[in-house]
């Protein structure tokens, strides 16, 4: 063993630990240990002296063994799952090549791969003359939308800052992701200037209420400038109605950004893409293939309809990096469109997956993920003890309560709801300690909903009906005595 061969030794450990093969569903998703126990078990300390390769390899093995196996068929805990094996291979290549995505000069092949992926995605979303950039996660991609919206309205903000501008107001739904709040803080807009628009019973932004909010903000001498719609909300997986929202934004001169980080993958579906109708009328979109599609984390992109705007808004024209007198075609030097300087090669892993599978292969994977989620919803809608939070779900999030036998046929008074709020956390604790399956839970205060489970299917590893049945039986096994 030596430094040069250490990566190969690690690959061997990954193989031995089963991370490079389809998992045996009988193995645990997680072998949980509390932080203090883990610190006892694995020596995380750093100091003057290094260790042997053998010791390091044993630490790596232990790290893997105590990590959550997100590639396990029964990991349904988040809006991501396992990685597409082709994507993982692509990630290894870009990691091994260790370069920076900013110029063709140092990333020739990766720049062309990024360009190819963006072109295909722009076509799919209906932005034929658009532009895009990979960003470190959905929150950053959503922030790009706000920056561009503001820049289009007030280009001088780039040089002069916010002084002299009226208070800018952004609108997003009460079910939307918190990244708009964080973005508003970071961009000097202020979280109080994020107006939460009501959602309807299905969790979709109410266009009428949006228009009322815009009119109210204008009367208060504020400047409405952007709407952040959501295509696939984090908890309920709901899709805001993009055509009506685009009509309102057009009428009032607002930028329409769509946070499609989660639900954007449905653009690839033959059966379910209609939930994204109207996305071609929006100004910008954020999409995370590292979520449903199973590209290795992280893989997030920002797309904009307007040609040249991304560069004009973000460029700083560093003369040591983006020289315009280079001997090659500098249009492939994408770095100056980004807010970052150093930027990981996030496009290549997606390119490898897509090149292998084609649109057809990705479509089949997305359709299967949604089909399985729909099957899960159907089964529990007919199963004693399970209650769906919504009658229908538009994405692969299925939200539900489990009622232990002792709680069925009981009066649903305050004490009953209080008891129900404790059921999901208790089942989740048992679930994690036993390790056979992982799914998430949360309350939804603005809807008056106590803790409920959120089951999420993704493309990798491709889920099956048998797995869905197992989850239902496991929840019954873990929770029926409560």
Closest CB 177 distance from ligand ABU, rounded Å: 6
> Cα 212 vs. chain centroid, distance in angstroms?
30
**Which residue lies nearer to ligand ABU by CB, 142 or 374?**
142
**Which residue lies nearer to ligand ABU by CB, 78 or 464?**
78
Closest CB 78 distance from ligand ABU, rounded Å: 3
**Distance between CA atoms of residues 116 and 355, nearest Å:** 10
Exposed/middle/buried for residue 430 (C-beta within 10 Å: 0-12, 13-18, 19+): middle
- Spell out the residues 6+ positions from residue 160 whose beta carbon is closer than 8 angstroms to its own: none
In the complex, residue closest to ligand ABU by CB: 78
- Which one-letter DSSP state was computed for residue 162? S
Closest CB 291 distance from ligand ABU, rounded Å: 7
- Decide the pairing of beta strands 168-173 and 223-230: parallel
- Enter the tokens of residue 443: 């309350």
Question: Which residues form the interface with ligand ABU (CB under 6 A)?
Answer: 78-79, 138, 177, 234
Closest CB 138 distance from ligand ABU, rounded Å: 5
Closest CB 455 distance from ligand ABU, rounded Å: 12
Contact 301, 135 (CB under 8 A): yes
Closest CB 174 distance from ligand ABU, rounded Å: 16
- Spell out the residues 6+ positions from residue 407 whose beta carbon is closer than 8 angstroms to its own: 416, 419, 420, 423, 482
**Distance between CA atoms of residues 158 and 123, nearest Å:** 30
**Which residue lies nearer to ligand ABU by CB, 79 or 475?**
79
**Which residue lies nearer to ligand ABU by CB, 305 or 428?**
428
Instruction: With H, G, I as helix, E, B as strand and everything else as coil, classify residue 478.
Output: helix
Question: Can you list the alpha helix ranges (DSSP code H) found in 233-346?
Answer: 242-252, 309-314
CA-based nearest residue to 342, from 37, 106, 115: 106
Whose structure tokens read 């920002």? 302
**Stretch (H or E) spanning 225:** strand 223-230
Closest CB 180 distance from ligand ABU, rounded Å: 12
Closest CB 446 distance from ligand ABU, rounded Å: 17
Cross-strand bridge partners of residue 455 = 398
Closest CB 476 distance from ligand ABU, rounded Å: 24
Question: Can you list the alpha helix ranges (DSSP code H) found in 98-230?
Answer: 108-125, 138-153, 157-160, 179-186, 207-219
Closest CB 120 distance from ligand ABU, rounded Å: 24
**Distance between CA atoms of residues 198 and 204, nearest Å:** 8
- Which one-letter DSSP state was computed for residue 239? B
Sheet of strand 255-259: strand arrangement: 131-135, 300-304, 284-287, 255-259, 223-230, 168-173, 194-197
């Amino acid at each position: 063993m030596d430094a040069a061969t250490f990566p190969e030794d690690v690959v061997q450990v990954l193989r031995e630990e089963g991370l490079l093969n389809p998992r045996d569903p009988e193995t645990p998703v997680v072998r949980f240990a509390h932080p203090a126990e883990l610190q006892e078990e694995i020596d995380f300390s750093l100091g003057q002296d290094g260790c042997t390769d053998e010791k390091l390899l044993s630490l790596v093995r232990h790290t893997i063994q105590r990590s959550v196996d997100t590639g396990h068929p029964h990991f349904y805990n988040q809006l991501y799952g396992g990685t597409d094996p082709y994507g993982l291979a692509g990630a290894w290549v870009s990691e091994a090549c260790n370069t920076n995505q900013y110029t063709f000069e140092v990333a020739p092949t990766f720049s062309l791969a990024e360009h190819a992926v963006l072109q295909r995605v722009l076509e799919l979303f209906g932005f034929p003359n658009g532009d895009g950039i990979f960003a470190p996660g959905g929150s950053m991609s959503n922030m790009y939308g706000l920056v561009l919206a503001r820049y289009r309205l007030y280009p001088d903000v780039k040089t002069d800052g916010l002084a002299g501008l009226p208070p800018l107001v952004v609108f997003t739904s009460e079910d939307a992701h918190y990244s708009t709040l964080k973005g508003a803080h970071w961009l000097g807009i202020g979280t109080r200037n994020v107006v939460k628009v009501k959602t309807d019973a299905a969790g979709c932004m109410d266009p009428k209420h949006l228009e009322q909010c815009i009119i109210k903000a204008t009367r208060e001498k504020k400047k409405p400038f952007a709407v952040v719609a959501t295509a696939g909300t984090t908890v309920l997986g709901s899709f805001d109605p993009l055509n009506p929202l685009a009509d309102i934004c057009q009428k009032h001169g607002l930028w329409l950004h769509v946070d499609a980080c989660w639900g954007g993958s449905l653009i690839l579906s033959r059966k379910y893409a209609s939930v994204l109708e109207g996305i071609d009328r929006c100004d910008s979109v954020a999409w995370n293939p590292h979520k449903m599609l199973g590209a290795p984390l992280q893989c997030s992109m920002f797309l904009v309809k307007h040609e040249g705007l991304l560069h004009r808004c973000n460029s700083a024209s560093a003369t040591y990096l983006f020289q315009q007198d280079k001997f090659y075609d500098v249009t492939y030097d994408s770095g100056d469109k980004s807010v970052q300087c150093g930027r990981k090669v996030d496009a290549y892993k997606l390119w490898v997956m897509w090149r292998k599978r084609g649109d057809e292969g990705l479509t089949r994977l997305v359709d299967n993920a949604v089909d399985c989620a729909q099957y899960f919803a159907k089964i529990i809608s007919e199963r004693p003890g399970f209650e769906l939070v919504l009658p229908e779900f538009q994405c692969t999030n299925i939200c539900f309560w489990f009622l232990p036998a002792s709680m069925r046929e009981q009066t649903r008074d305050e004490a009953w709801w209080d008891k129900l709020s404790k059921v999901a956390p208790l089942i989740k604790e048992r679930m994690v300690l036993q390790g056979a399956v992982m799914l998430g839970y949360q309350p939804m205060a603005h809807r008056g909903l106590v803790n409920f489970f959120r089951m999420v299917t993704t493309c990798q590893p491709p889920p099956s009906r048998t797995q869905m049945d197992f989850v239902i039986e496991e929840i019954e096994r873990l929770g029926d005595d409560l």
